[in-house]
Chain A
């Protein structure tokens, strides 16, 4: 059974840093792209970052230069290093698996999320 379990979400002050983790199991982790997606309370979904199987990374402008996605295949783990945090980064952060087939690309499995609160 595929499982993604996020951890590391806490209350942090503006300007602070935080590292989120996502522990993967039930599939060959190294064979899949991985993503972070966030959702502020009562708001929609926002894609935050992606890392390919080859280690290529992608970010939207809202977090580029502040967030760093990484993976450790030997530990079946995904990470998100978040620096210079702002109130607007407050959200539930989900990790999601990216999967290709002949019909397209999907986030086919999601974790349950970890809450990051940025506040003084």
Chain B
């Protein structure tokens, strides 16, 4: 099974700061990687897919990069509504697998 590892587990930033979240795959997933945001009590929301394509309606402050085994989600200037949990997910191999998540919290 392909393992996705996210770091850090928790990231503390102040509003307006840049946030960088990492995701590493145990083997290459090419660019077959997505990022999801989840707020308490809500379903996940698609942010990024194809490693770098923003989903419809996602603000430009969210960007994704990487390929192979190393991926990054960057929030250029964190807004109050961005404090949430973030998950990466690979769809290159069955079974589909998620990372364990990064919690973005207010510093």
Residues of A at the B interface (CB closer than 8 Å) are 35, 37, 44-47, 50, 58-61, 94, 103-108, 110-113
Contacts and interface: CB of A to CB of B under 8 A. Distances in A.
B74 to A, nearest CB: 18
Contacts of A35: 96
Given A44-B100, A104-B31, A94 B43 contact: yes
Interface residues of B, number: 27
B34 to A, nearest CB: 6
A45 B23 CA distance: 15
A45 B55 contact: no
A58 B50 CA distance: 21
A15 B46 CA distance: 34
A61 B91 CA distance: 16
A35 B95 CA distance: 12
